[in-house]
Structures are given as structure tokens and as C-alpha cells.
Amino acid sequence: MFGGPARRMKDRRVWNVKDFKLSSALGKGKFGNVYVAKTSNATVALKVMFKSCLASDAKRTLLLRREIEIHSRLVHKHILRCYGYFQDSKHIYIILQFASNGTSLSKMPFSERETKKITYQISSALEFCHSRGVIHRDLKPENILIDAKGNACLSDFGWSCHVVGGPDDEKRRTFCGTPDYMSPEQVLSKPYDARVDIWALGVTVFEFLTGETPFSRETIEDTFECISDG
């Protein structure tokens, strides 16, 4: 899996948008778009974000810097590779592994056999993240991409954080993530740790098999009540 593009992308350290031939749009993010892009010898996904949109959101800019720093250090066969980033006057570009089968969200529901395979692969990606002190904090089907061979890759480290070490750092309090996948301790604004990713994986497995999330209700308040009562 790391043969082709990973090795070829590593040969270059400084990139410019002219090195990429952009083709179809893969999706839309809050601050820009993701495109399939070709270099002279590899196909990647290029996430293009507008500085003008980010400028009005200082917190998001900080999170983006953290996302790139954390993601580019995580090299694992079930974590989408982040090859690096570059910028020009108007944009920030993130160079990512291209997952040609898109998000797992678009392929649900899965059979028990497929669910078992994806769960195993994402568990190993999470174990790797946690062993390096990283909590993903936004695990859900949309952030599990499927590559050309049908293997799962954990993506989108936009809400991830690094637990530096020591008892004070091990518990986090930031309220973040996606309501349906949040754990009781997050919903109740209690300190939490890497186990929030395991909870979100449980919700995701339920959704893979049934096409529905277990705690989803009419309003966010009802959803939170259902999660904390659980």
C-alpha cells in the first residue's frame, strides 16, 4: 500500500500547485474542496482551503495547523496518508492519499463480514493513534475512507488532539465531535480520554450494520439525553 505514491511523494519536499493537474472534485469541506490530482508520477487527493474563509476563524486556523502536524506523523496502513502541505497567497493545500472508493458512509449498510473487516482495520488504526498519544475525536463513517483495494483508512484529523503525557494531560474537556457519536462523558462535559474513540467506533459499527445510529433523536438535546441515560 505504501509502495507507489508514498515513495514517489516522499522524493519531493517543496510543492507548488503547478505540480498538480486537478480533475474531479471529490467532496466539499467547510473551508474549501477536495480534488483528485495527478503529479508527474502519482495520483493523490488535494484538499484546497481558502485563506479568506479561514481568516475569520482563528480557532479553525489553529486546528488546521494541529491537524496537519498530527496527521502527517501518523504513518499506518489503515490511516489515510498525509504527504504534506503547501500554500500560496490565497490557499492552503493538503496533499493526501487518494481513497478511490470514497467514504464508507456512501456504501452502507455493510454485511457482517464487511463490517468485521472494516472494524478490525479501524481498530488497528485507533490503537496506533492512541499508542502515540493521539485521540481522533471525530470517528464516524464519513471519516472512514475506502481505498482502491476495499481497505479502510481513518481520515480527517481536524478534531484530533495530542495527549502530551502526565496525569493532567491525559483527560481532555474540549466539547467537540459529532453529536450522534459522542460518548456519555463528552455529552456530560466530564473529562474524557482516548476511550471516546472506542465509543464512537461502537456507534459506527451499529450504523454499518443497520444504516442508523443508535442514539439519534429528533433534537440534539434528546440525543444527548439518550446517550447520557444509556
Q: Where on the chain is the footprint of Mg ion (CB under 5 A)?
A: 156
Q: Using CB positions, name the residue nearest to Mg ion.
A: 156
Instruction: Indicate the residue among 64 and 185 with the shorter CB distance to ligand ATP.
Output: 64
- Longest Cα separation, the chain: 55
User: Annotated catalytic, 169?
Assistant: no
Question: Which of residues 80 and 201 has its CB atom nearest to ligand ATP in the complex?
Answer: 80
Name the active-site residue from 19, 57, 88, 138. Answer: 138
Cβ nearer to Mg ion, comparing 129 with 185: 129
Q: How far apart are CA 67 and CA 146, in angstroms?
A: 20
16-49 b/e (C-beta count within 10 Å ≥ 16 → b):
eeeebeeeeebeeeebbebbbbebeebbbbbbbb
| Residues 75, 212: Cα–Cα separation, whole Å | 31
Nearest distance, CB of residue 181 and Mg ion, angstroms: 12
| SS3 of residue 110 by DSSP | coil
Give min distance, CB of 102 to ligand ATP, in A. Answer: 5
Min. distance of Cβ 156 from ligand ATP in angstroms? 4
Residue 215: other Cβ atoms inside 10 A: 21
By the criterion CB under 6 A, which residues form the site for ligand ATP?
26-27, 29-31, 34, 45, 47, 80, 96-99, 102-103, 142, 145, 156, 158
| Residues acting as catalytic residues | 138
